[in-house]
Structure 1
Amino acid sequence: MKLPMKIMKRYNTKTRPMLVGLMVMAMAIVLTGVMAGGCKRGGPSDAAHSTPGKRKYHCPMHPTYVSDRPGDCPICNMKLVEIKDSGATVPDKHEATGGALHGRIPIALSPEKRQLIGLKTDVVERRNLSRVLRTAARLEHDERRYAKIAPRFAGWVRQLHVNFTGAPVEKDQPLFTVYSPELYSAENEYLIALRSAAQLKDNASESMRDSVMAMLESARLRLALFEVGDNEIRELERRGKASAELLFRSPVSGHLLVKNAVEGKAFMSGETLFEIADLSHLWVRAYVFEFDMPLITIGQDGVVKFPYLNNKSHPAKVTFIYPHIEAQTRRGQIRLELDNPGHELGPEMWADVELELKIGEKLSVPASALIDTGQRYVAFVDGQDGHLEPREVKTGVKTDDYYEVVSGLKEGERVVTRALFLVDSESQLKAAISGMETTGAHKH
């Protein structure tokens, strides 16, 4: 260090070394005091090892910063607040009932503090778990009770006996009459074969008899392929005259859902003119997320509700589980069936479905006993020595009120279920301060 020349000139060569030595010692003392003061302001270890009654202050936003005097936080410039006794202490390492969880440590709360924050606990035990699955569903007609009327020959619609969509029909009720040259030709062939068979003489050869009977059978089969019923064939035999018209009757009772026929319309062979569905029994297609699909079984009871019908409910059963998952929504589909005797319900109506999922007896804890950190679940176990120990818990199935415990907790242990977030905050704060104390002690 170079001293100013004016000062140096005032002293002779004998006293100059003594002056330099004194100044060096003075600066060393000042530096020592500054370093000691810095440790007192920023070292959290002083808060832990200070004498009883000595006040300590910390930053509300950065609780790891601890000082022995009031002032401002050097990180965010907030006012430091006094650290008051919370009634929570950090147990010694040998007192902890298990390994510390990262960011959290066991704490001990006095009985007064427990009562003040309303702390409550519940036991880890085996329970019969179940939950109610609620999902949306859509009504459909029963595909087994659905009929399409499509003539197997070309022709024209001559007359409609049911002429509007939605009309109720009964089985064997007349629907429409068609005209077809193909039908007329087929009926003539049958009448000719029938007459030939009737004219066979007793002395006719066997080959001729077989030929005539084969022609008759072929003509009758052609009429059957045109969906000419036995009653119509008997009527044709009685009448003895072919007709180009054919009356179609309803094969089932139900409602006319699709009507593609108008009087005078030409149609091709196989073209659908009517579609009829029996609505006295309906399917309910419900949508279920894939993680719930393994809990659903065929034969399971359910309830179908209609909020827009005064929340009217109908009992139903699961009759089929569809074997595919929708790629975009990750949902599966299940089918329930319900009776609809008054035809109050219809296809494409929306409904709510409720299923009670039986999970079985599982080791479980109340849902209020777990904190979801986003990466894991944390519970606080109330030890016999009064310490609250944080534990990482691996969970299984979740119900409305409970979580299945896969690992992390044992049967019979008690866990905090009320004031859990206060306990967790205290544990994290103590862990942070303890970590700073360890760091500060290491540096000194």
Structure 2
Amino acid sequence: MKKNTLYRHGIALMLAGTAAAGLLSGCEKKNEKTAADAGQEASAAPLLRDGASIRLPSASPLRKAISVAIVTEQTIERSISVPGAIEADAARLIKVVPPVSGRIVQLNKRLGDSVKAGDALFSLDSADLASAYSDAGKASATLNLARRNLQRQKDLVDADIAARKDLEQAESDYTQAVSEADRAKARLSQLGASLGPGSGHLYQLRSPISGKVIELTGSQGGFWNDTNAPVMTVADLSTVWMAASIQEKDLPLVFIGQSAKISVNAFEGESIEGKVRYIGDVLDPDTRTVKVRIAIDNQSGRFKPGMFAKVVFSGQPHPAPAVPAAALVQNGFNTRVFVEKSPWVFEPRIVKTGAQMGNNIEILSGLKAGEKIVAKDGVLLND
């Protein structure tokens, strides 16, 4: 009986061992299958990330989509393109304002007429001028009387006939008369007139510069009583300014004597060359720009103040790495490229860009010539 019991226990242990061995074998096969499936899934993924690195497996379809190129060094000429407008040279433009009021009795020059320096522009019948002449005449007469009186008092004092105080009074009167006569002459000189034969009430204003009458607001026979408003404007437009506003960030790239190409909107397809003559000393606080002026020869008179144009300032040629525009990928506020560290292993890198020349863009920092980058469809690697 005891032997049968031991026999049955042995059989049970043998069966349990067999079952355990079978279970263990099944688990091992399951683990092997899971690992194989994981390997197949990894090889089927288009890309794998390991920290900052991105690897494309051999079966990845991205290998056919993206292209890799070497960063080359190119000669960069960073030009600046800005809008501009033609302006008259302020030093060659005069708004003719009469210093006296009066009636315009003659217009010697009309709108569009050529003017030479010293030419009569118009004449005024002016009571102010007549008053100035009258004051000057009175002051001159008073001065002559004071001079004679002073001389008479000196003679009387020398003869011990007149008192000393009378001489002192004559000297004071003479000094005042000289001062008043000088004031009256200065007033006439300011008006461009002088006391002499023919003095009267007709005031003739002459042009201080040569040029053309480009604006006329007065008319013959009209009364002009506003001594702050111009009757006409004379301008020499043989040379005009092309004025352009340069942004604050581009100021280091602009210099006196720099060449510029100007395309005036009115003359499509044409361009003229000019050189920077003036760079403003003050930054506009509203637009954060500085005014730059280029002198343009305008002997033909084609260029009219107020015309709009496009101005391209040439830059200093310098060597720098450049990449295709398609290689740049925007990521938030940063611009990135994907650099190949080893075959089909890439790493994103932030770069700073500069000038654009056709399809290529200058790289200011972040890349060196000779490095390999994703030149096309790098956005497929972007996260």
Q: Which runs of 5+ in 2 are unaligned?
A: 1-29, 155-169
| Cα deviation, residue 290, structure 1 | 4.7
RMSD over aligned Cα atoms: 3.8
Residue aligning to 2:21: none
> 1:215, CA displacement in angstroms?
3.4
Q: Structure 1: which 5+ runs fail to align?
A: 1-35, 51-55, 57-65, 67-82, 94-98, 432-444
1:350 matched residue in structure 2: 308
Matched pairs, number: 328
Match of residue 186, structure 2, among 204, 221, 225: 221
SS of equivalent residue, structure 1 residue 399: strand
Q: Contact conserved, 1:177 with 1:247, CA < 8 A, in 2?
A: yes
Residues 327-342 of structure 1: pairs in structure 2 closer than 5 A: 327=286, 333-342=291-300
Q: Per-residue displacement from partner, 1:123-149 (whole Å, max 9, x unpaired)? A: 365x55322222221111111222122
Structure 1 residues 57-114: Cα deviation after superposition (integer angstroms, max 9, x where no partner):
xxxxxxxxx9xxxxxxxxxxxxxxxx9x89x8869x6xxxxx525xxx133679xx97
| Cα distance between partner residues in 1 of 2:234 and 2:138 | 36
| 2:239 aligned partner | 281
* 2:81 alignment partner in structure 1: 134
Q: Which residue of 2 aligns with 1:258?
A: 215
Structure 1 residue 269, shift from structure 2 partner: 5.1
Do the aligned partners of 2:66 and 2:374 also contact (CA within 8 Å) in 1?
no
Q: CA deviation at 1:347?
A: 0.8
Task: Give, in whole Å, the separation in 2 of the partners of 1:109 and 1:135.
Answer: 49
Query: Taking structure 2 as the reference length, what is the TM-score of the superposition?
Result: 0.71
CA, structure 1 residues 382+138, in 2 after alignment: closer, same or farther (shift >3 Å)?
same
Match runs of 1:227-376 below 5 Å: 227-229=191-193, 233=194, 236-237=195-196, 239=197, 241-268=198-225, 270-272=227-229, 273-318=231-276, 319-321=278-280, 323-325=282-284, 327=286, 333-358=291-316, 360-362=318-320, 364-376=322-334
TM-score, normalised to structure 1, is 0.62
Q: For residue 392 of structure 1, what is the aligned residue in structure 2?
A: 349
- Give per-residue Cα distances to partners, 1:315-361, cap 9 Å, x unaligned: 3233123634474x766543322221222211111111111233855
Give the residue type in structure 2 aligned to 1:107: L
Q: Give the equivalent residue in structure 1 for 2:362.
A: 403
Judged with a 3 Å threshold, the aligned counterparts in structure 2 of structure 1 residues 311 and 159 are, in CA distance, closer, same or farther, namely same
Offset at 1:275?
2.0
Which of 147, 154, 174 is the aligned partner of 2:101? 154
Instruction: Show the counterpart of 1:106.
Output: 55
Shift of 1:216: 2.8
3-state SS in 2 of match to 1:131: coil
Offset at 1:300?
A: 2.4
Shift of the alpha carbon at 1:363? Answer: 5.2
